[in-house]
Structure 1
């Protein structure tokens, strides 16, 4: 019986410590300065941590996410500006061809950064999404971006017909 109580106590300590660590990481992500912004007129590529996706990484890279393409990219850009707040994202900075938004995870309140760069000449919107803290995001940024692109398609001006997000 003492062994069972000891195991239970140890598991309780582990769970509480893990929860505290996640809570601390959530607080830390709100205070951490994001590594965002344009570099030579382009979004920055992802580093080596699997907590980021980007359209500027090489196709075939685990970090690559296809740019949003549309035959009417201006309407898609306008829809993106409307859709982000509707989906619960906070637009931090909105310029003529650049958007920086943040997404906050539901449970631990981690803050992730999302960036969008409009390239009207090629009818594309380049994207980048990265977690501020932690090593891996377990696919959260990719899932979030797929959901966003899906919602843009539902608005009628998402990726060009036949394109997968």
Structure 2
């Protein structure tokens, strides 16, 4: 799968991103603390429901999140650039995600805050 972390979302309401300026798709930036690194971000992200590591590169992670009942797979892409964590969460299938990806980004934000990885 291609790294899409820096791309804005498409036009279907099944994606959120820190890189998208449109209100329906935008999520607030994640500002990293000095102690944050990719391994600690990965540990936090893997505590999300249904999460498993799919790909890891130098400053990039792709986490696959599988829904419990219907087994839908969403891609959570994370990239560290300077003191920012770029976050993009998108459903692989379907038109609407009923807010699941925004909820996942909010859950990730809370996990990272609890671990003192973001401000």
Q: Normalising to structure 2: TM-score of the pair? A: 0.89
Larger radius of gyration: 1
Q: Which position in structure 1 is the counterpart of 2:42?
A: 81
Runs of 4+ in 1 over 2 A off after TM superposition: 84-88
Deviations 1:4-28 (A, max 9, x none): xxxxxxxxxxxxxxxxxxxxxxxxx
Q: Which position in structure 2 is the counterpart of 1:24?
A: none
Number of paired residues? Answer: 118
Q: 2:6 aligns with which of 43, 48, 51?
A: 43
Correspondence 1:62 to 2:28 = no
Of Structure 1 and Structure 2, the greater strand share is in 2
- 1:71, CA displacement in angstroms? 3.1
Q: How does 1:1-165 map to 2 (within 5 A)?
A: 36-38=2-4, 43-58=6-21, 60-72=22-34, 75-87=36-48, 88-120=50-82, 123-158=83-118, 160=119
- 1:124, CA displacement in angstroms? 0.3
User: CA–CA distance in 1 between the matches of 2:97 and 2:110?
Assistant: 20
Q: CA RMSD in A?
A: 1.7
Does the CA contact (< 8 Å) of 1:115 and 1:128 recur in 2? yes
User: CA–CA distance in 1 between the matches of 2:37 and 2:102?
Assistant: 20
User: CA–CA distance in 1 between the matches of 2:26 and 2:97?
Assistant: 15
Which blocks of at least 5 consecutive residues in structure 2 are unaligned?
none
Does the CA contact (< 8 Å) of 2:52 and 2:63 recur in 1? yes
Of Structure 1 and Structure 2, the greater helix share is in 1
- 1:68, CA displacement in angstroms? 1.1
Q: Normalising to structure 1: TM-score of the pair? A: 0.66
User: CA–CA distance in 1 between the matches of 2:9 and 2:45?
Assistant: 22
Does the CA contact (< 8 Å) of 1:76 and 1:152 recur in 2? no
